Structure 1
Amino acid sequence: MAKWDNMLSMLWMLRSGRKLTAAQIADSLEISVRTVYRYIDALCASGVPVVAESGHDGGIRILESFMETPLFFNSVELKALVDANKFAQAAGYPYTEELESALKKVENGLHEEQRHDLFRQTSSLDVISPARPPSVVPLLRDLERAAKDGRTIRIAYRKPNVKQADEREVDPYGLAYDRNEWYTVAFCHRSQAMRTFRVDRIARLEPTEARFVKPERFSASAYFRDQSEREREADGPLAVVRIAGEPDTLNAVCGHWHLRHYLTERTDREAWFQLDVPTMNKYLPMYLVTFGTAICIREPLELKRQIQKMAYGIAKLYEDDPD
């Protein structure tokens, strides 16, 4: 474990309020007693009030005045925070400025050696963000605020391939980030049903005076899963679908907006899905044939034969084509 990680671990042990001997700390961290005292000197130099008391009831402790100080993080935890910020920015997270401010406060409490180590650990990871309309961030803030306050909003929403936006009043229950896009799950007053709206297609949003009560324990992600389940053709019987292919190709198959909900197991070269037979027969042959020879269906035999028949039909069509 790195020096700073050991020091922080020792600090966490002392924050428990118990007196510990140097030998106890050394055994717990698997370091020498001499190193423990060296770390104590370093902590004291940093302003941490560490007290070493000798005698029968003696031990090492920190003063109670230090107990309410901010949390400390080890190097891997700091790296995780910085990397998470990169993903949040790429996703268009609406509170990136606040997140940056919080991280800056954490970084300001680090020593120069820690800052250098943090930069070294995090400089090799970048997250490429898709282009987003500048209006998405304020929309996300407004939608989240409306969901929190239980306030009905009026939106102008543009459907795909439709130039004119139509107005409707909705009760936004929550936000979800899916397939590089933000969605709000809301109760639509016009259709009197739950609907999902892509946030970048909202042309205008304004609050109303109306209020609503969100269903208890509502989850946008659970709603997406439920919708996928409802699109099944039947309840059963279930079939196990095993597909082999290169890792990148399997990523595309497993990431399909509908098929991913049926994924049960995955390795670098194979993926297993479980879904009802009617859904498999209706949707999978046409979808999987688009991958050509990049994938291979291992099972079930029924699906293999359907794709074989479809491929033969395509080949026959062009074989008979005089042009």
Structure 2
Amino acid sequence: MAKWDNMLSMLWMLRSGRKFTAAQIADSLEISVRTVYRYIDALCASGVPVVAESGHDGGIRILESFRETPLFFNSVELKALVDAFKFAQGAGYPYAEELESALKKVENGLHEEQRHDLSRQTSGMDVISPVRPPSVVPLLRDLEEAAKEGRTVRIVYRKANAEQASERAVDPYGLAYDRNEWYAVAFCHRSQAVRTFRVDRIARLEPTETRFETPERFSASAYFRDQSNRGREADGPLAVIRIEGEQDVLNEVCGHWHMRHYLTERTDREARFLLDVPTMNKYLPTYLMSFGTAIRIREPLELQRRIREMAREIAQHYEDDAD
């Protein structure tokens, strides 16, 4: 463990309010007692009030006043914070600027050696942001604020492939980020049902004075799962579907809006799903056929047999044309 990580770990131990002997600290951090005293000197020089008391009830402790100071992070935690900011920024998180400001405050409190180490550790990873309309960020802020306040909003929304946008009043229950897109899950007054609206398709949003109550324990992610479950043909019986393929192809199969809800196990070479047989028979043969020889169905034999039949029917169709 790096020097600064050891020092921070020791600081966390002392912040607990307990007294420790140098031997206890050394044993916990797997360092020498001499190193413990060097770290104490370094902490004291940095303004941390570490007190070493001798005698039967003595030990190393930290003054009460310092235990109320802000949190400290080790190098891996700092890297995780920076990387999380990159993902948030790439996803179009509406408070990315505030997150960046908070992160800078943390970085400003670092020692020069820590800042250099953090820059080195985080320079190897970037998140490529998808192209988004500039209006998405303020829309996300407005929708989240409306959800928090329980305020109905009026939106102008354009459905996919629709020629014209339509206006409607909605009660935004929550936001969800799914497949690189932001969605608002809201009660639509026009259809009198809960619907999902892709935020980048909202042309205009205006708050109203109307108030609403969000259903108790509502979860946008749970709503998406429920919608997928409703698309099933029947409740059972269930079949285990085992598919082999290259990692990038399996990523595409597992990322399908419907299939991903039934994924039960995944490795680099195989994915397993649990799905009811009627839905499997109705939707999967055609969908999985589109991957050609890039995947192989291992289970169930019924699905494997149906895909073979479809392949023969297609081959026969073009053989007939050749004649």
TM range (shorter): over 0.9
**Aligned residue identity for 2:153:** I
**Aligned residue identity for 2:7:** M
Q: 1:217-240 CA distances to partner (integer Å, 9 max, x unpaired)?
A: 110000000110111000011111
Q: Which residue of structure 2 lines up, in the alignment, with residue 269 of structure 1?
A: 269
CA–CA distance in structure 1, aligned partners of residues 52 and 318 of structure 2: 87
Q: Which residue of structure 2 lines up, in the alignment, with residue 191 of structure 1?
A: 191
Q: Which residue of structure 1 lines up, in the alignment, with residue 39 of structure 2?
A: 39
Q: Which runs of 5+ in 2 are unaligned?
A: none
Instruction: Return the offset for 1:163.
Output: 3.0
CA–CA distance in structure 2, aligned partners of residues 75 and 163 of structure 1: 53
Q: Which residue of structure 1 lines up, in the alignment, with residue 103 of structure 2?
A: 103
Instruction: Return the offset for 1:195.
Output: 0.3
Provide the identity percentage.
86
CA–CA distance in structure 1, aligned partners of residues 208 and 163 of structure 2: 25
Q: Which residue of structure 1 lines up, in the alignment, with residue 49 of structure 2?
A: 49
Instruction: Return the offset for 1:314.
Output: 1.3
Secondary structure of 1:203's counterpart equals strand
CA–CA distance in structure 2, aligned partners of residues 41 and 317 of structure 1: 83
Secondary structure of 2:321's counterpart equals coil
CA–CA distance in structure 1, aligned partners of residues 214 and 259 of structure 2: 29
CA–CA distance in structure 2, aligned partners of residues 300 and 257 of structure 1: 22
CA–CA distance in structure 2, aligned partners of residues 281 and 36 of structure 1: 66
Is 306-315 or 77-86 further displaced after alignment? 306-315
CA–CA distance in structure 2, aligned partners of residues 162 and 262 of structure 1: 31
CA–CA distance in structure 1, aligned partners of residues 106 and 163 of structure 2: 47
Instruction: Return the offset for 1:322.
Output: 3.5
CA–CA distance in structure 2, aligned partners of residues 116 and 282 of structure 1: 57
**Count of residue pairs brought into register by the alignment:** 323
TM-score of the pair, normalised by structure 1:
0.98
TM-score of the pair, normalised by structure 2:
0.98
Instruction: Return the offset for 1:56.
Output: 2.0
CA–CA distance in structure 2, aligned partners of residues 182 and 168 of structure 1: 19
Q: Which residue of structure 1 lines up, in the alignment, with residue 162 of structure 2?
A: 162
Q: Which residue of structure 2 lines up, in the alignment, with residue 228 of structure 1?
A: 228
Q: Which residue of structure 1 lines up, in the alignment, with residue 146 of structure 2?
A: 146
Secondary structure of 1:207's counterpart equals strand
Q: 1:247-279 CA distances to partner (integer Å, 9 max, x unpaired)?
A: 111111111110011111111111111100000
CA–CA distance in structure 1, aligned partners of residues 46 and 320 of structure 2: 83
Say whether 1:219 aligns with 2:223. no
Is 174-183 or 17-26 further displaced after alignment? 17-26
CA–CA distance in structure 1, aligned partners of residues 100 and 294 of structure 2: 42
Instruction: Return the offset for 1:55.
Output: 1.9
**Aligned residue identity for 2:6:** N
Secondary structure of 1:161's counterpart equals coil
Say whether 1:206 aligns with 2:210. no
Instruction: Return the offset for 1:315.
Output: 1.3
Secondary structure of 1:8's counterpart equals helix
Say whether 1:126 aligns with 2:126. yes
Say whether 1:309 aligns with 2:309. yes
CA–CA distance in structure 2, aligned partners of residues 173 and 136 of structure 1: 18
Q: Which runs of 5+ in 1 are unaligned?
A: none
Instruction: Return the offset for 1:162.
Output: 1.7
- Give the CA RMSD over aligned residues: 0.9
CA–CA distance in structure 1, aligned partners of residues 60 and 34 of structure 2: 14
CA–CA distance in structure 2, aligned partners of residues 318 and 274 of structure 1: 35
Q: Which residue of structure 2 lines up, in the alignment, with residue 18 of structure 1?
A: 18
CA–CA distance in structure 1, aligned partners of residues 303 and 56 of structure 2: 77
Q: Which residue of structure 2 lines up, in the alignment, with residue 79 of structure 1?
A: 79
CA–CA distance in structure 2, aligned partners of residues 220 and 125 of structure 1: 30
**Aligned residue identity for 1:266:** R
Q: 1:188-216 CA distances to partner (integer Å, 9 max, x unpaired)?
A: 01111000000000000000010000011
Instruction: Return the offset for 1:302.
Output: 0.7
Is 40-49 or 282-291 further displaced after alignment? 40-49
Q: 1:49-92 CA distances to partner (integer Å, 9 max, x unpaired)?
A: 11112222221111111111000011111010000000000000
Secondary structure of 1:321's counterpart equals helix
Matches within 5 A, 1:170-181: 170-181=170-181
CA–CA distance in structure 2, aligned partners of residues 113 and 5 of structure 1: 12
CA–CA distance in structure 2, aligned partners of residues 8 and 318 of structure 1: 71
**Aligned residue identity for 1:131:** V
**Aligned residue identity for 1:270:** E
Secondary structure of 2:182's counterpart equals strand
Instruction: Return the offset for 1:176.
Output: 0.1
Secondary structure of 1:208's counterpart equals strand
